[in-house]
Amino acid sequence: MGADKDRDQKRRIDTMEELAVAIGVSRPTLSRYFQDPERVSRTSRERIAQGLERVEYVPNFFATRLNRKSTGIIGVVIPYLNDLFFTKLLEAIERAAMAEGYTVITQCSHSDPLIEARAAETFMSMSVDGALVAPLGNQSDMKAHERLRSRLPCVLVDSRPKSMPNVDFVGSNHVQSTGLATEYLCRVGTPPIFLAMPRVNFNAMERELAYIAKMEELGHEPHIIGTEVLNDDGLFEAHGRAVLDREFAAGRLLESSVLCANDRVAIGALRAAASHGLEPGAKRQGGLRIMGHDDYPLCPFAVPSLTTVAQDVEAIGRASVSRLVKTIQAQKNQDEQIVKLFDGELKVRDSA
């Protein structure tokens, strides 16, 4: 009977005040209990625990946050969702933040600077303890970013606008990773040309420059294609396919090494190669090779499987949260800026 009553319909209680009279302790005692059960005596603790079994009560999120010095919330801004790189990053961030005891509120910019700026406003109005920002890129509203930074601890993730050089940053070492890829391709075949992506973010430029630097270091002539916008849907895959379709149709690059700015571009490139009857791969000495960057989750399942250089997304997520939490707990903004770059790791598969 009692068990049935428990299971079926507990008495619903809306405020801590009601709960206090229902259990027979004072409201402040309950407040302390919810923040940390150790802060009340053992007897009260047990009494409250038993009381909570018999009722249905959820503390009001807004009321609890309103009057606290720390809201326990971390805000995350990401540019868009339809990319498995960002979703992996987000999952890593959420796991790390959860482990540290923070609540994560994510806002997606949907590639729109206005929405990104509004997300910053939202976080300020929520008094989040800190923010992790993967910025849109050149189009970002820098004033909004600055306001956010002036109010609360911020860490940039993945991409770092040149216009905000003295902010904490966690991302990939593109000089190393792109250099590694370039070097690998030079070693196993002809020096690569670089299939760029439209310069929507700063990583795009960084990788281009890293490619050029490594090529010159190795004594080769750099050659870049695909910086122009060819398709309007904004899909990286469609871009890669369009660029290589054009080249292959003109009889160019049929025996080249092609280093793509990222894996999604490379997947489009693979598609174009297949359409033209080409089989990119390490097996054919001197023939067409296609390589990506990032280690997108689908790489092992591409046809042929895509050789790439992996970003350590998990580590980037963890490190960014770790740094942010440290800054938050230090109260004031740390004096020295931190820039943490993770090296890429070669993933040799079939395509190069």
| Shortest separation between residue 120's beta carbon and DNA, angstroms | 16
Rounded CA-CA distance 185/257 in Å is 7
Partners of 106 in the β-ladder: 76
Q: Which positions from 255 through 274 interact with its own copies, judged by CB under 8 A?
A: 267-268, 270-271, 274
Rounded CA-CA distance 138/95 in Å is 29
Q: To which residue do tokens 């690569």 refer?
A: 192
Rounded CA-CA distance 302/316 in Å is 25
Buried b / exposed e along 45-70 (16+ C-beta atoms within 10 A) = eebbeebbeeeebeeeeeeebeeeee
Residue 139 binding: pick among DNA, its own copies, none (C-beta 5-8 Å cut-off by kind): none
Contact flags string 74-103 toward its own copies, x per CB under 8 A: ------xxx-x--xx-xx--xx-------x
Of 41 and 150, the one with the shorter C-beta distance to its own copies is: 150
Own/partner pairs, 158-164, CB within 8 angstroms, 24+ separation: 158/86, 158/89, 158/134, 158/203, 158/316, 159/134, 159/135, 159/201, 159/202, 159/203, 160/135, 160/202, 161/135, 161/137, 161/202, 162/202
What is the distance in angstroms between the CA of the first residue and the CA of the last residue of the chain? Answer: 69
C-alpha separations of 95 from 185, 249, 318 in Å? 36, 46, 8
**Whether the Cβ atoms of residue 72 and residue 36 lie closer than 8 Å to each other:** no
Residue 343 binding: pick among its own copies, DNA, none (C-beta 5-8 Å cut-off by kind): none
Identify which range of 39-47, 180-188, 189-197, 299-307 contacts its own copies by CB under 8 A.
299-307
Of 46 and 121, the one with the shorter C-beta distance to its own copies is: 121
Contact flags string 37-76 toward DNA, x per CB under 7 A: ---xxxxx--------------xx--xx-xxxx-------
Residue 26 binding: pick among DNA, its own copies, none (C-beta 5-8 Å cut-off by kind): DNA
| Shortest separation between residue 150's beta carbon and its own copies, angstroms | 9
Identify which range of 29-37, 107-115, 188-196, 241-249 contacts DNA by CB under 7 A.
29-37
Residue 29 binding: pick among its own copies, DNA, none (C-beta 5-8 Å cut-off by kind): DNA
Residue 274 binding: pick among DNA, its own copies, none (C-beta 5-8 Å cut-off by kind): its own copies
**Residue 15 in contact with DNA, rule: CB under 7 A:** yes
**Whether the Cβ atoms of residue 270 and residue 331 lie closer than 8 Å to each other:** no
Helix (H) or strand (E) holding 341: strand 339-342
Torsion over CA: 138, 143, 147, 150 (sign): positive
With CB under 7 A as the rule, give the number of residues binding DNA.
Answer: 27
Residue 35 binding: pick among its own copies, DNA, none (C-beta 5-8 Å cut-off by kind): DNA
Residue 341 binding: pick among its own copies, DNA, none (C-beta 5-8 Å cut-off by kind): none
Q: Which positions from 320 through 339 interact with DNA, judged by CB under 7 A?
A: none
Torsion over CA: 210, 215, 221, 222 (sign): negative
Rounded CA-CA distance 261/212 in Å is 13
Looking only at the bridges linking them, the beta strands covering 154-157 and 224-225 are unpaired
With CB under 8 A as the rule, give the number of residues binding its own copies.
Answer: 50
Residue 163 binding: pick among its own copies, DNA, none (C-beta 5-8 Å cut-off by kind): none
Single residue of 10, 22, 31, 138 touching DNA by CB under 7 A: 31
Q: List residues binding DNA (CB under 7 A).
A: 14-17, 25-32, 34-35, 40-44, 59-60, 63-64, 66-69
Q: List residues binding its own copies (CB under 8 A).
A: 56, 58-66, 71, 80-82, 84, 87-88, 90-91, 94-95, 103, 105-106, 108, 110, 121-122, 124-127, 147, 235, 237-238, 241, 267-268, 270-271, 274, 297-298, 300-305
